[in-house]
Amino acid sequence: MGCWETWIRTTIGAAMTAILGISAFYHDSAAALVVDGRIVAAVQEERFTRKKHDYQFPIHAIEYCLAEGGLEGGQLDYVGFYDKPLLKFERLLETYLAYVPAGFRSFLTAMPLWLHQKLHLPREMNKGLGQQYKRRYVFTEHHESHAASAFFPSPFDEAAILTLDGVGEWATASFGCGRGRRIALSHELHFPHSLGLLYSAFTYFCGFRVNSGEYKLMGLAPYGEPRYAETILEKLLDLKDDGSFRMDMSYFNYCQGLRMTSRKFARLFGGPPRKPESPLTQREMDLAASIQKVTEEIVLRMVRYVYERTGMKNLCLAGGVALNCVGNGRILREGPFENLWIQPAAGDAGGALGAALFIWHQLLGNPRRPARPDAQRGSLLGPGFSDEQVRRFLDGVGAKYRHFRDEDELCRHVADLIASEKVIGWMQGRTEFGPRALGSRSILGDARSRRMQSVMNRKIKFRESFRPFAPVVLHDRTSEFFEMPPGRDSPYMLLVAPVARQKRLAQDGDPPQGLDKLKVIRSQVPAITHVDYSARLQTVDPLRHGRFHKLLKAFEAKTGCPVMINTSFNIRGEPIVCLPEHAYRCFMATNMDVLVMEGFVLLKQDQPQAEEHRIDEYLARFELD
Ligand SMILES: [Fe+2]
């Protein structure tokens, strides 16, 4: 846990202000601890409960944040919640009344959670804090929380802020400005007109899970043609020049029903929704390409308008739609903003952090000095484990390992294994806050390998074969491999950039269609080159990424290649691993070859009980996402 703990220990006892932020009861519950304006800890509840996108009150996440700060619930000065539940309830009631009696079933489904927990938040939070916290609770508005999470940790003294998601209380998008220690949102788009819900409607219609499968739809888009884009713009939306829009709600069902789209939507797109897990057809690929194109058009119009209205050169983004890294790549490349910073936990988990930072700067008026490269600390804000803790665990389960005292030697050894096409589970340092694995809880492989994309999807992750893998690249060699504007980085894997032309391979004959596109070897790093040559990249630098950067340097020294595959350390439906036992279980149950936890290296072939860990039993623990 390094020097961060030292700082807390020496500060404790002196006058300080400790603020806990909480998000809960929708999806991706999380807690964040901010002490004297510094982000001490932040983590999603799912990492502990092993339920993906867990929405329950984040008891474990809170417990961890307090322990990381050396605090008890009674020592907190403020507790913030990331939205205003009464306003949300008002939206629910008004929507129900507007559609009565059509929405009765969905209303009934939502009621128990509201009546038992959401409308009694202070009571629930008292319970979650062990009845120790006696001060006030602060409820920030949903989009204010997103905006605060985007601006306050950013490196900018002033910036325009744009937030885009499914829905908060009423707002589904907002923009405004951040200056120094204050943010002010001046414009909002209101429910039911929502870019997040529009994208989710297509996610649902294409047979993926809402609030979870959106990134699969984005990954599917390059297999299709945007042949429905005009239809979407003509029939479903009235899109204005400034990016605001109204939706024709007769095509949607989310206001009154339990489904996202209506029969009229199905008629427009040639039949009923795709059943989950059934074969993907050209229609889904084309729908994915179409809604992606429309989404980018809307976001780019909004961004241009925000630029016109604010006249600022920096832009901060948050909200679930800001996880659409294809769109983000276009914002970066096509401007007009000079600089872009996106909150890595852009979804609702990040609201916990936003609420805490909002209290510190905006409510308490504490000054803010922007940090370089930013104040997010690489987003490595969750639990970490010492060598001693890892050793105790490994000895407890009878694992066979080799321990490396010397970090350089460890990195050279692991780089050799990757270069020989071994698949590595890599658990180092503190867990990532946000949905992406950034080299702390990652599965790594050789990006040069022609078989790695298929091996990883089928034998390690047990997920859909069409899904691409993301690269990590040494930050100072990015432009050699990817078309990124010079001097730009992507430390949080939130941008997509095309693979550089000089790294692509010439293609003969007619281009294949649909899923056959997968079979083509397209570049010198085929495992991370998507079918349209795009790559969702993470740039790795020594400041943010420590040992992970050393590993990539060792791989470069051995192979000349500064690029590896980095995918999250989990299987399909499983939250990213967090604790040593999670990593060990996932390693033992899958076909992963090697597990590296801190200084310990485990080879699968050496493990005594390898055959006792069965993949089907392991897979059955997690609901398909
Ligand atoms: Fe949100």
Q: Output the CA 318–ligand 1 centroid distance in Å.
A: 8
Q: Output the CA 562–ligand 1 centroid distance in Å.
A: 36
Q: What would the pLDDT profile of 345-385 be if each residue is shown by its tens digit?
A: 999 999 999 999 999 999 999 999 999 999 999 999 999 99
Which residue in the block uniquely carries the two structure tokens 């919640």?
A: 81
User: What are the residues whose beta carbon lies below 5 Å from ligand 1 (ion)?
Assistant: 165, 348
Q: Output the CA 143–ligand 1 centroid distance in Å.
A: 7
Average pLDDT, stretch 109-138? Answer: 82
Q: Output the CA 21–ligand 1 centroid distance in Å.
A: 15
Q: Output the CA 109–ligand 1 centroid distance in Å.
A: 21
Q: What is the per-residue pLDDT for 14?
A: 55
Q: What is the per-residue pLDDT for 119?
A: 75
- d(CA 540, CA 492) in angstroms, rounded, equals 9
Neighbouring C-alpha atoms within 13 Å toward the C-beta of 373: 19
Q: Output the CA 26–ligand 1 centroid distance in Å.
A: 9
More confident position, 462 or 425: 425
Say which residues have a Cβ less than 8 Å from residue 553's Cβ, sequence separation at least 6.
Answer: 411, 474
Residues 64 and 44: beta-carbon distance below 8 Å = no
Q: What is the per-residue pLDDT for 613?
A: 67
Q: Output the CA 249–ligand 1 centroid distance in Å.
A: 21
Q: Output the CA 11–ligand 1 centroid distance in Å.
A: 33
Q: Output the CA 510–ligand 1 centroid distance in Å.
A: 43
Q: Output the CA 95–ligand 1 centroid distance in Å.
A: 18
Q: Output the CA 275–ligand 1 centroid distance in Å.
A: 27
Q: Output the CA 351–ligand 1 centroid distance in Å.
A: 7
Q: How confident is the model at residue 10 (pLDDT cuts 50, 70, 90)?
A: very low
**Neighbour-count burial of 495, counting CB atoms closer than 10 A to its CB (0-12 exposed, 13-18 middle, 19+ buried):** buried
Please state at what angle helix 104-116 crosses helix 85-99, rounded to 10 degrees: 160
Q: Output the CA 283–ligand 1 centroid distance in Å.
A: 29
Q: Output the CA 346–ligand 1 centroid distance in Å.
A: 8
Output the DSSP codes for 294-345: HHHHHHHHHHHHHHHHH--SEEEEESGGGG-HHHHHHHHHH-S-SEEEE-SS
pLDDT exceeds 60 at position 154: yes
| Other C-beta atoms lying within 10 Å of the C-beta of residue 538 | 26
Q: What would the pLDDT profile of 370-424 be if each residue is shown by its tens digit?
A: 999 999 999 999 999 999 999 999 999 999 999 999 999 999 999 999 999 999 9
Q: Output the CA 410–ligand 1 centroid distance in Å.
A: 41
Q: How confident is the model at residue 94 (pLDDT cuts 50, 70, 90)?
A: confident
**Element at 63 (helix H, strand E):** helix 59-69
Q: Output the CA 475–ligand 1 centroid distance in Å.
A: 31
Q: Output the CA 306–ligand 1 centroid distance in Å.
A: 19
Tokens (6 digits) for 235: 């029939």
Q: What would the pLDDT profile of 283-300 be if each residue is shown by its tens digit?
A: 999 999 999 999 999 999
Tokens (6 digits) for 603: 């080879």
Q: How confident is the model at residue 8 (pLDDT cuts 50, 70, 90)?
A: very low
